[in-house]
Structure 1
Amino acid sequence: MKKGEVRSEAPGPTEIRSHLVRNEVLKAGVWLGMALFIGACIILIQPILLIFAGIVVASMLDGGARLLGRVLPVARAWRLLIICMSLVAFLGWAILFAGSQIADQAATLQQVVMTQIERLAAWAGDHGLGNVEIDAKTVSDNIAGTVGRVTAAVGSLVGALTSLVMIVVLGIFIAIEPRLYERGVAWMLPMKMRDDFYITTARMGFTLRRLMAGRLLGMGVEGIGTWLLCALAGVPMAALMGLLTGLLAFIPNIGAIVSGILLILVGFSAGPDVGLYAIMIYLFVQTVDGYLIVPMVAKQTVDLAPALVLGAQILLGALLGILGLALADPIVAMIKVALEREAERNAWAAPGAGEADKEKATGSA
């Protein structure tokens, strides 16, 4: 090439000159990206659930720090530290003082439950309902089948403990500086979508904090109430029944059914009178939770229809196992908040929208 001559670049074989072809390639890329994203979500669904569980734990810690701030005017970091240390102290107390008693009771729980189930099977056979042979393996396999497929991450005791530690640690990290992660996610969104993202996440956080506060309140009332009433009525394994009832209260609908079955089976193992007491204890505790605590929480958060929550539990439990079953309620609540926010934006964008709709859409209401 001579001096002063301008180099002329010729188009290569991969150059797309056609505007139509470029648009079609762009559309194909979008669809391919969506397919890869959906496939990645399916493959990584267990880590995604663990991350969401960490967010749920973070909302509980953050809610406790906010509640403590009403009576203790110190920095948020100190309040969060007090909440975390209180949780560790409670777990230590439970392990040191109540752990041995609960462990002894847990060792006999399976035997008591299996004995009662065998009695029910014998009673059904005597009344012409068929001969049913039940053993521990059959019952455990059926329970596992109804709960769903539990993945390798939580398929064993070691895996469950590891996942629990990861959830708690992740929740603590998120609770320490939640705005940091919120701004990080917003940074990946287009500028025009960031304001709406902040409004939606603020509402989700508010709803999740109130929902988890009500859930913890219900767990405490059901667990402590069951323990005290069982101890007064002479129901065996009162401490273990209270613990199981409180833990299962985290799962609406299904948790109450499972804890009720266990309580009644254990009650009848001590005699018909104690069994009737167990039924009355279960009805009383569930009535207090269902007619006092649940309506009070629903007024402050998202009022979820029981059939909607139960359907989500069945679906997520079958697809994702125990973790999906436990997180079905907060997942449905978050989806409902997002849909309500989208409905507000659509109402604001519709022709003839009033000032009230605009205020809701911009978060000023």
Structure 2
Amino acid sequence: MSDTHHIERPGPTELRSSLTQHEARRAAVWFSMAIAIALVALLAQPIMLILGALVLATMMDGGARLLGRVLPIRRGWRLAIVLLGAVAFLTYTFYLTGSSLAEQAQAMRTIVEGQAARIGGWMQQLGVTATPADFKSLAGQAMSSMGRLTAAVGTAVGAVTSLVMMLVLAIFIAVEPKLYERGFAWMLPMERRAYFYTVADKMGWTLRRLMFGRLIGMAVEGVGTWLLLLAGGVPMAGLLGILTGLFAFLPNIGSIISGVLIILVGFSAGSDVGLYAFFVYLVVQIIDGYLIVPMVAKRATDLAPALVLAAQILFGALFGIMGLFLADPIVAMIKVWLEERSKALEARTAPGEG
């Protein structure tokens, strides 16, 4: 009789089995993670372009907000003024001086390679096994990318399709940022939308402060380097000023690259000029590092220099030049998300602790 009352249960080969459903859910989680990692690796470049567009949109939005403090006009007009001002600056900088900058870049490449060969010979006299040819080859590799960049600048600013797409996307986002913010929030559950708006607003505020500080630093370093080098008779002061301003967008790494170029070009004109160029580099970096960054950018982000440098190395290896440029903003956004996440968790546990 006991056999007749035996209750049959689904086996592990049936989907109704609780064990099968549990293992299927676990497998789905791991499978989804693998697909997500594969998609990130496959779509790394488009993801970087979208993040770059967000950073550009933040800069445009910040400029429109600043103009709103002095010009009581509609946001669209303020944004148009910002875009026209940026276009006018780029046109003046690159098109009107593009040919001279390209010539100076070729001359600078020769100077840097020659100085590297001299350093190699001096180190070989001290017993270092490296030969001057090794240093010349290293300098040539380092300058090759700058040569291609200045050549593109001298012709047509290298209107790469990806850059154009990123710029267009940034303009669309900057025109109506709240529209896209609400659209993204619409895809989230109702209880998560307030948290999303808080995090998005804090990220936007942080990126605006970070980019504002970066632009101020680029302007101060570029113009200051140009004027001081020009006053001291250092060759190619205009090109060195532009490169210093552009490299200032990359914290840590950019200042090292521009410093090496300034010092090498300075010593090519003599020891006195080289020492003066080194002094100019120190003065500009001290002003930017101890005056501008603490006043503007560090208050908003307070990112450790070692963390930024590590992120630049990691993102540069994973995503190339775009990752190198976007490492700092990405780390800042991650920091904001972690801080807001921690605050939300503390708010949930606080009543229970009481």
TM-score of the superposition, structure 1-length normalised?
A: 0.85
CA distance in 1 between counterparts of 2:306 and 2:112 reads 29
Structure ranking higher on relative contact order (CA contacts 8 Å, 6+ apart) = 1
CA distance in 1 between counterparts of 2:60 and 2:166 reads 12
Q: Which residue of 2 aligns with 1:56?
A: 55
The alignment partner of 1:72 has SS state of coil
The alignment partner of 1:251 has SS state of coil
What runs of 5+ residues in structure 2 fail to find an aligned partner? 1-12, 146-155
CA distance in 1 between counterparts of 2:238 and 2:298 reads 32
Residue-by-residue CA offset, 1:158-217 (whole Å, 9 max, x unaligned):
988333222222211111111122122212222221111111011000000110000000
Q: Which residue of 2 aligns with 1:134?
A: 134
Q: How far apart are 1:284 and its partner, in Å?
A: 0.3
- Amino acid in structure 2 at the alignment position of 1:40: L
> Does residue 252 of the first structure (1) align with residue 259 of the second (2)?
no
Contact 1:298 1:304 (C-alpha < 8 Å) held by counterparts:
no
Q: Which residue of 1 aligns with 2:227?
A: 228
Q: 1:73 to 1:105 in 2, by over 3 A?
A: same
Q: How far apart are 1:310 and its partner, in Å?
A: 1.1
Q: Which residue of 1 aligns with 2:339?
A: 340
Residue-by-residue CA offset, 1:97-121 (whole Å, 9 max, x unaligned):
3223222211211111101101111
- Amino acid in structure 2 at the alignment position of 1:90: F
- Amino acid in structure 2 at the alignment position of 1:104: E
Identity %: 56
Contact 2:313 2:324 (C-alpha < 8 Å) held by counterparts:
yes
Q: How far apart are 1:22 and its partner, in Å?
A: 3.0
- Amino acid in structure 2 at the alignment position of 1:318: A
Equivalent residues, number: 331
Q: Which residue of 2 aligns with 1:6?
A: none
Contact 1:227 1:239 (C-alpha < 8 Å) held by counterparts:
yes
Q: 1:141 to 1:161 in 2, by over 3 A?
A: same
Q: How far apart are 1:298 and its partner, in Å?
A: 3.8
Q: Which residue of 1 aligns with 2:211?
A: 212
CA distance in 2 between counterparts of 1:177 and 1:118 reads 54
Q: 1:119 to 1:75 in 2, by over 3 A?
A: same
- Amino acid in structure 1 at the alignment position of 2:85: S
Q: Which residue of 2 aligns with 1:44?
A: 43
- Amino acid in structure 2 at the alignment position of 1:27: R
> Does residue 166 of the first structure (1) align with residue 147 of the second (2)?
no
Mapping of residues 260-275 of structure 1, within 5 Å = 260-275=259-274
CA distance in 1 between counterparts of 2:74 and 2:52 reads 26
The alignment partner of 1:327 has SS state of helix
Q: 1:128 to 1:329 in 2, by over 3 A?
A: same
Q: 1:135 to 1:123 in 2, by over 3 A?
A: closer
Q: 1:343 to 1:94 in 2, by over 3 A?
A: same
- Amino acid in structure 2 at the alignment position of 1:345: A
Q: 1:319 to 1:141 in 2, by over 3 A?
A: farther
TM-score of the superposition, structure 2-length normalised?
A: 0.87
Q: Which residue of 2 aligns with 1:360?
A: none
Q: Which residue of 1 aligns with 2:7?
A: none
Q: Which residue of 2 aligns with 1:25?
A: 24
Q: Which residue of 1 aligns with 2:194?
A: 195
CA distance in 2 between counterparts of 1:138 and 1:292 reads 34
The alignment partner of 1:252 has SS state of coil
Contact 2:116 2:136 (C-alpha < 8 Å) held by counterparts:
no
The alignment partner of 2:302 has SS state of coil
The alignment partner of 1:71 has SS state of coil
Which runs of structure 1 show a deviation greater than 6 angstroms over 4 or more consecutive aligned residues? 142-145, 157-160
The alignment partner of 2:160 has SS state of helix
What runs of 5+ residues in structure 1 fail to find an aligned partner? 1-13, 146-156, 356-365
CA distance in 2 between counterparts of 1:208 and 1:158 reads 26
